[in-house]
Chains A and B, each alone.
Chain A
Amino acid sequence: MRHIISILMENESGALSRVAGLFSARGYNIESLTVAPTEDSSLSRMTLVTRGNEDIIEQITKQLNKLIDVVKLIDLVDSAHIERELMMVKIKTSEHMRDEIRSMAEIFRGKIIDVTPTTYIVEMTGPSEKLDAFIDAVDPDTIIEVVRSGPTGISRGEKGLYL
């Protein structure tokens, strides 16, 4: 099953490589990983998407918790949560295609953020499946480049990951 592990860790050089190294050394897979400092500059927050059965996920969370730089973590999938990913897609646009791309972007609540005579860049956020659906809907021959941030997430209600 797919799990989204959200991690608060010390904002130290090397902390990221400890996490990445743990995954490669123990043979766990990482589907995506995003990391950025938080409002508290001593901490950064990492969101990691991985897959595995219950036993593997249990080991992953235990091993992550064991890293000295990891302050706290939660598996977002354990409870209600919101998941978002940012995507930018550069699309080749001939004159007669422009309306179609624009309306498609609108349906998916995307924005066109850059226009040249031959290209559009569409920006879109949402759960990863929604972004996948947009990509599927666009003619693959027109896609020049896709940039995705990897999902990040937050739990709903009062529950959360904070100190």
Chain B
Amino acid sequence: MELSGAQILVQSLIDEGVEYIFGYPGGAVLHLYDALFQQDEIKHILVRHEQGATHAADGYARATGKPGVVLVTSGPGATNAVTGIATAYMDSIPLVVISGQVSLPVIGSDAFQEVDMIGITRPCVKHNYLVKDVTKLAETIKKAFYVATTGRPGPVVVDIPKDITAPNIKVPYKYPKKVSIRSYNPVVTGHKGQIKKAVDLLLRAQKPIIYSGGGVILGEASKELTEFTHTLGYPITNTLMGLGGFPATDKQFIGMLGMHGTYEANMAMHESDVIIAIGARFDDRVTGKLDLFCPYAKIIHIDVDPASISKTVKVDIPIVGEVKPVLEQMLELIRENHKKPHKKALEPWWHQIEQWRAVNCLEYDRESRLIKPQYVIEQLYEVTKGDAYITSDVGQHQMWAAQYYHFDKPRRWINSGGLGTMGFGLPAAIGVKLAFPDADVACVTGEASVQMCIQELSTALQYKTPIKIINLNNRYMGMVRQWQEFSYESRYSHSYMDTIPEFVKLAEAYGHVGMRIDKPEEVRPALEEAFAMKDRTVFLDIITDQTENVYPMIEAGKGHHDMKLRVALGTSTDRELA
């Protein structure tokens, strides 16, 4: 079969099983768009800004586990995509981003809409390719998908000069079934000796804790993690990226850890004698001050990326491999030896944890006449029966969603953790809804974040992706305001916008339903009404208490045992705890 470069690209994507392309046309990709026009297997989602395309593809990838595919033109199209590429990179999300490039003969001449996409994206992709020969195009696409989805996943950019896609140059097409790359061989199973050492250490622990992260979600290992945790009977905490990897409503779950983690999770980390880190990367939001991190613990670390191991925190037993096979290997060893930790021996540890748990660190003022954002998330949880896909933006609302929506399943919590990209939530929700049209999809956002990709409301209408936007409107960049309150004597420098749009009208202008809610008793009925409108996107502009802060919190330079707690409501005060 002889095809043009443009046809080869489209056919390769079809052969790869791609369902959706999120894109935006322009000069350098016109041949590609013409080829797309002449087929009907792949659906193209026309976004309103290329950043939206990357986030939507990213949301699709996070929800499904399949790679997200993006198509943008050269120059400004390509640069607009960079924020989304970096977002996916930081959270290890598989994307294949195809960017148009100026024709080969004019590369380097400052041609119209030329940017060095390979150079610009190099630090924020897993790999990138410039295609210089049309006969290598199909193989390059195959390699891009292979690299993006294996090992530690990540975005791959394929930059395609316009002349490579020209309709008049046709070459034989065959999509490779498999590719191998001699310099790229990700490790899958763990080293047996290390696994034995790890199991021995784990079974001897008196104050063990399981600390698991995004790698469990990425590696589809929730089932194994759950079995592992139940077999051992140990407490488990998740990172922001790991939420849903273990059911949040399980007794053994002690909440998220880190800067805005629970008191019990952080105290348990601090006091523990053995930590097993599973697909988590000791991010600075998790560890707090490194010198104070887990002073008494021996650490086991399972990670597919050797560079994640001992990067910030030195570990005692590293295991390079994928979470799923490694946990299976560990479980098998535990079963074979008929060894299990003694329930009795763990009692003092659990007793201690229950005491920390009793502090009730997530309690808040339930009597307030103002809408408390925490209450909104609790109601959202109830109305959706804990079974929705929740995307979020970045800020206080993101933390509240993480703290108060109890994720029992993987891939339900979709947020930008590593880069912390405001503007992520709305386009991501569209990507999720396309993948799961029958599921409830909500975007928890703030009035500042949502404005960063608000134009995608139009995309949501065109492709009939009825999502619910939960705008926790505190009229502040709340997260910034909180830091200014705590660390800059409440000098609220530019964290307040004097003007914000009337979101109800804005939603209506985009063809959706807008609702404004400003009383606590309206929250529940409004949510119910919104979710009952199965085929409408609803923007709920919820006016919340603007003084509310995210608690608990580990402030800069502090350790896990030194959390700032809310002083309220007959729960515990700082003094009582000391």
Instruction: Count B-side interface residues using an 8 Å CB cutoff.
Output: 18
B310 CB contact (under 8 Å) in A58, A72, A163: A58
B307 lies within 8 A of A62 (CB)? yes
Pick the interface stretch among B180-188, B224-232, B479-487.
B180-188
Task: Report A-chain residues with C-beta under 8 Å of the C-beta of B126.
Answer: 68
The answer to whether A65 has its CB under 8 Å from any CB of chain B is yes
Task: Report B-chain residues with C-beta under 8 Å of the C-beta of A68.
Answer: 126-127, 147, 181, 183-184
The answer to whether A83 has its CB under 8 Å from any CB of chain B is no
Task: Report A-chain residues with C-beta under 8 Å of the C-beta of B307.
Answer: 59, 62-63, 65-66
Q: Give Cα A13 to B181, complex, Å.
A: 17
Q: Give Cα A18 to B157, complex, Å.
A: 14
Interface 1/0s, chain A 18-34, versus B by CB < 8 A? 10010001000000000
Q: Give Cα A55 to B314, complex, Å.
A: 9
Task: Report A-chain residues with C-beta under 8 Å of the C-beta of B130.
Answer: 13-14
The answer to whether A70 has its CB under 8 Å from any CB of chain B is yes
Q: Give Cα A21 to B118, complex, Å.
A: 12
Task: Identify the closest chain A residue to B128 (Cβ).
Answer: A14
Interface 1/0s, chain A 39-72, versus B by CB < 8 A? 0000000000000000100110011011011111
The answer to whether A91 has its CB under 8 Å from any CB of chain B is no
Q: Give Cα A10 to B307, complex, Å.
A: 21
Task: Identify the closest chain B residue to A63 (Cβ).
Answer: B307
* Residues of chain B in range 156-202 having any CB-CB distance to chain A below 8 Å: 181-184
Q: Give Cα A68 to B183, complex, Å.
A: 6
Task: Report A-chain residues with C-beta under 8 Å of the C-beta of B386.
Answer: none
B122 lies within 8 A of A59 (CB)? no
Task: Report B-chain residues with C-beta under 8 Å of the C-beta of A13.
Answer: 130
Nearest-Cβ distance from residue A10 to partner chain B, whole angstroms: 6
Instruction: Count A-side interface residues using an 8 Å CB cutoff.
Output: 21
The answer to whether B105 has its CB under 8 Å from any CB of chain A is no
Q: Give Cα A58 to B183, complex, Å.
A: 19
The answer to whether A9 has its CB under 8 Å from any CB of chain B is yes
The answer to whether B220 has its CB under 8 Å from any CB of chain A is no
Q: Give Cα A18 to B291, complex, Å.
A: 33
Q: Give Cα A55 to B181, complex, Å.
A: 29
Task: Identify the closest chain B residue to A42 (Cβ).
Answer: B182
Task: Report A-chain residues with C-beta under 8 Å of the C-beta of B314.
Answer: 55
> With A55-B310, A68-B127 as given contacts, are A18 and B122 in contact (CB-CB < 8 Å)?
yes
The answer to whether B306 has its CB under 8 Å from any CB of chain A is yes
A21 lies within 8 A of B181 (CB)? no
Task: Identify the closest chain B residue to A70 (Cβ).
Answer: B183
The answer to whether A116 has its CB under 8 Å from any CB of chain B is no
Task: Report B-chain residues with C-beta under 8 Å of the C-beta of A71.
Answer: 182-183
A9 CB contact (under 8 Å) in B122, B147, B183: B183
The answer to whether B305 has its CB under 8 Å from any CB of chain A is yes
Q: Give Cα A65 to B123, complex, Å.
A: 15
The answer to whether A17 has its CB under 8 Å from any CB of chain B is yes
Task: Report B-chain residues with C-beta under 8 Å of the C-beta of A72.
Answer: 183
Task: Report A-chain residues with C-beta under 8 Å of the C-beta of B310.
Answer: 55, 58
B122 lies within 8 A of A69 (CB)? no
* Residues of chain B in range 104-150 having any CB-CB distance to chain A below 8 Å: 118-119, 122-123, 126-127, 130, 147
Q: Give Cα A72 to B181, complex, Å.
A: 13
Task: Report A-chain residues with C-beta under 8 Å of the C-beta of B122.
Answer: 14, 17-18, 21
Residue picked from A18, A59, A66, most chain B C-beta under 10 Å: A66
Task: Report B-chain residues with C-beta under 8 Å of the C-beta of A25.
Answer: 123
Q: Give Cα A59 to B312, complex, Å.
A: 10
> With A9-B183, A71-B182 as given contacts, are A65 and B306 in contact (CB-CB < 8 Å)?
yes
Task: Report A-chain residues with C-beta under 8 Å of the C-beta of B118.
Answer: 14
Residue picked from A58, A68, A69, A70, most chain B C-beta under 10 Å: A68
Q: Give Cα A25 to B127, complex, Å.
A: 15
B184 lies within 8 A of A21 (CB)? no
Nearest-Cβ distance from residue A97 to partner chain B, whole angstroms: 48
Q: Give Cα A21 to B182, complex, Å.
A: 22
Task: Identify the closest chain A residue to B305 (Cβ).
Answer: A66
Nearest-Cβ distance from residue A68 to partner chain B, whole angstroms: 4
B311 lies within 8 A of A59 (CB)? yes
Q: Give Cα A66 to B184, complex, Å.
A: 8
Task: Report B-chain residues with C-beta under 8 Å of the C-beta of A21.
Answer: 122-123
Task: Identify the closest chain A residue to B314 (Cβ).
Answer: A55
Residue picked from B119, B184, B307, most chain A C-beta under 10 Å: B307
Task: Report A-chain residues with C-beta under 8 Å of the C-beta of B306.
Answer: 62, 65-66
Q: Give Cα A25 to B305, complex, Å.
A: 19
A17 lies within 8 A of B119 (CB)? yes
Q: Give Cα A13 to B104, complex, Å.
A: 14
Task: Report A-chain residues with C-beta under 8 Å of the C-beta of B147.
Answer: 68
Closest 7 CB pairs of A and B: A62-B307, A71-B183, A68-B127, A25-B123, A62-B306, A68-B184, A21-B122
Task: Pull 25 A–B residue pairs with CB atoms less than 8 Å apart, ordered by A.
Answer: A10-B183, A13-B130, A14-B118, A14-B122, A17-B119, A17-B122, A21-B123, A25-B123, A55-B310, A55-B314, A59-B311, A62-B306, A62-B307, A63-B307, A65-B306, A65-B307, A66-B306, A68-B127, A68-B181, A68-B184, A70-B183, A71-B182, A71-B183, A72-B183, A163-B182
